[in-house]
Amino acid sequence: MKVAILGAGGFIGANTVKLLSTIPSYQITALDITDEKLSALNCRDFTYVKCDIRSDHKLLEQTVESADVVLDLIAHANPSLYIAKPLDVVQLNLFENLKIVELCLAHGKRLIQFSSSEVYGMTGGSDKPFKEDETKLTLGPVARHRWIYSCAKQLLERMVHAYGLSEGLRYTIVRPFNFFGPEIDYLVTDERDGNPRVFSHFMSALLFNRPMYLVDGGRSLRTFTYIGDAVEAFRLILDNEEACAQQILNVGNPANEISIRDLAYMMVEIYCEYTGRDLDVPIIEISAEAFYGPGYEDCDRRLPDIAKLADLGWQPRYDLTDTVRHTMRYYIERYLPEEGS
Ligand code: NAD
Ligand code: UGA
């Protein structure tokens, strides 16, 4: 099976290439602006296509045309960008991605479109897990422009669905729930580095002796999924087109729920255990406005229902402790500064 992974140089993409390229039944083409993470993870046996989809239209089309299935991961996926550059988020995540959808349709290719758990928005007071085909999608007001990412992803999903209904597009939509693993975002060494997702912030704080910030007290809950489990789910989705045809699938681990505050303390404990060092990193509560700027509003809780993927035979294997430990070990082994430096 010829698989074109678009956005293959990102966190999910590079980890997916790493695993799939070792399986002889897949032939992987990895398209991205950058291949740094593919190199960092020592990925092999794939074809790299350096391409900016905003300008290299021909190269994008050739890549789609020569594949059997297209996995589209390209997006701005970092909440601080939703606040700082909302128009760029819509331009890339909706309009540029729609061109990929239309190319798949024009060339009769199967599309696996990456969306997000963020489409569910807030719980609206319900404590039920989010179900792909039942749960209402509850977003905050327009002035809270953090929701522009969720809204763009939702409209992309609706367009993919409509192309399926009206034009016969072959598709599956994936909604990831807060994956953890090697090469997520980037480490922060300076205030000017901006705000990556929470793991990278906390890991940078531990490695480089910077404060850990708990946004609005760190009360929000997330369920974290180890990237290795997620890639196993993608493999099942790739190999089971019929069962996944025109489906939306949550990929998450409902057993791995934790508040951001508890995650911070858990990471401190694991860091001290792994390194044998004492730590005096301040853990500071901060308002969302001070951390992200105006326009932020948080998702209070995100619990996935994973019955659909379980029916295909998927169960995540990494519990929360393993998920955090495996990811932290990768960073400690590579980036722990010498003591006293
Ligand atoms: P990422 O930012 O690490 O990867 C995105 C990749 O897209 C990057 O490598 C980037 O270089 C590439 N890209 C951006 N603009 C491009 C362009 N113009 N041309 C070519 N490539 C371009 O993000 P990720 O965490 O790997 O997420 C991948 C997808 O999964 C995204 O669609 C994201 O919204 C979705 N998602 C991720 C998570 C998660 O937990 N990581 C959760 C929910 C949804
Ligand atoms: C993420 C991003 O939107 C996407 O990568 C993705 O689509 C989606 O979730 C997902 O993974 O399903 P979010 O869960 O808010 O959004 O991601 P983080 O930036 O990692 O934030 C998680 C929580 O930690 C939020 O409550 C945030 O306010 C908090 N946080 C973040 C801190 O308390 N401190 C920090 O230093 C960073």
Instruction: Assess contact for 156 and 113: CB atoms under 8 A.
Output: yes
Q: What is the pLDDT of residue 339?
A: 82
- Between the CA of 171 and the centroid of ligand 2 the distance, in Å, is 27
- Between the CA of 93 and the centroid of ligand 1 the distance, in Å, is 9
Q: Which two tokens stand for residue 140?
A: 């905050």
Q: What is the pLDDT of residue 278?
A: 86
DSSP string, 232-288: HHHHHHHH-HHHHTTEEEEE--TT-EEEHHHHHHHHHHHHHHHH-------EEEE-H
Residues with active-site annotation: 149
Is 77 a pocket residue for ligand 1 (Cβ < 6 Å)? yes
First and final CA of the chain: distance in angstroms?
49
Q: Give backbone dihedrals phi and psi of 42, rounded to 5 degrees, phi first.
A: 55, 40
Is 10 a pocket residue for ligand 2 (Cβ < 6 Å)? no
Is 157 a pocket residue for ligand 1 (Cβ < 6 Å)? no
Calculate helix-pair angle for 198-208, 320-335, nearest 10 degrees.
50
Q: Name residues of the chain where pLDDT drops below 50.
A: none
- Between the CA of 74 and the centroid of ligand 1 the distance, in Å, is 5
Residue nearest ligand 2's atom 37 by CA: 198
Is 220 a pocket residue for ligand 2 (Cβ < 6 Å)? yes
Q: What is the pLDDT of residue 269?
A: 96
Closest atom of ligand 1 to 56 CA is 19
Return the DSSP state at 336.
Answer: P
Q: What is the pLDDT of residue 279?
A: 86
Element containing residue 6 per DSSP (H, E): strand 2-6
- Between the CA of 56 and the centroid of ligand 2 the distance, in Å, is 31
Is 314 a pocket residue for ligand 1 (Cβ < 6 Å)? no
**pTM of this structure:** 0.98
